[in-house]
Amino acid sequence: MSVIFLIIILAIIILAHEFGHFIVAKKSGMRVDEFGFGFPPKLFGFKMGETLYTLNAIPFGGFVKIPGEDGGEQVARESQGRTFAEKSMRKRMAVIAAGVIFNIILAWFLISFGLMIGSPMSKSAASDAAAVKNAKVTIIGVAKDSPAEEAGLKVGDKLIAFSSVEELQNFVAVSAGKEVEIGYERGKEMGALTLIPRVNPPEGEGAIGIAMDEIGTLRLAPHKAVIEGAKTVYNLTIAIIGGLYYFILDVTKGTAGLDSVAGPVGIVSLTGSAASLGFAYLINFAAFLSINIAILNILPFPALDGGRLLFLIIEKIKGSPLNPKFSHAANTVGMIMLLVFMAVVTYSDIAKLFS
């Protein structure tokens, strides 16, 4: 079921991304020969107007085929005057950036919709804490080999009998070294587990090894949901950019690990966890994934939208197009490097399952 949910989420994110390229290209007067979901081989397609819409066998991606986009190729007579290369720099950059922008817009829509129907929200993160209803102390992180992990507590568990994080912290502090029972709520399941809070826990983990927050449900009127949704998307975007910056910094230092990076296998697991917590969590996860894909796509790396934008900026500076052979070679090498990185991350995901 997790795989099905992930395929649906990725389909929505990919369609939003490619629709951004498609609609801006159309509005810019470009001809679009094909709008493809997935990568070839083609399963089937239909033509509407001048565009062929196709469904392809490899579902993790999509493309919009615009004449003159790669440079140097032969262009049919009916496309002359409407190719990518013939349009202004501003229009070409807008077409490339549109995919990323539409992913951000999708995240904004999803989070806003979630807030309209009732979305999980931390009291500390809400602009109006009083509007967060039925807040409960909820586990948002479990340290490896901690008393909490060994006892069986999981992310998403609600710790009953405690009205605040502070109350739980005080209880654990006076119980260090003693066996205690902690009740939890996990979906429709209720239960209790015993554990012994550590007297001298590792730095940053706490006595039982959990990160927690007071999380309830926030439901807003449509106009307020749209405003709060925009704020949330902004904060998430800044946080994800910050995390990516420090990851790249660690890569340059040679100290980066793959523990904080998830590939397809890891994302399937995360999707399942979000789905098990409820529809609202799944919506927020889809929004989070859409923002991540947008940020990764805008990186100035060949084969990504950011790389294509970089090539256009170089073209603007030098006053002439880059050699098509160079662009094609750079994008090919970039794609190979991305696929190798994805393979390594996938191997790491699988290793984590058996660790």
| Residues designated catalytic | 18
Residues with Cβ within 8 Å of residue 336, at least 6 apart in sequence: none
The rounded Cα 50 to chain-centroid distance in angstroms is 33
DSSP string for 7-40: HHHHHHHHHHHHHHHHHHHHHTT----EEEEEEE
E strand segments, the chain: 34-48, 51-65, 119-122, 132-142, 158-159, 180-186, 189-195, 210-218
Give me the long-range contacts of 139-142 (CB less than 8 A, separation at least 24): 139/210, 139/211, 139/212, 140/211, 140/212, 140/213, 140/215, 141/210, 141/211, 141/212, 142/209, 142/210, 142/211
Burial code (b: 16+ CB inside 10 Å, e: under 16) for 100-138 equals: bbbbbbbbbbbbbbbbbebbbbbbeebeeeebbeebbbb
Check residue 257 and report its DSSP letter. Answer: -
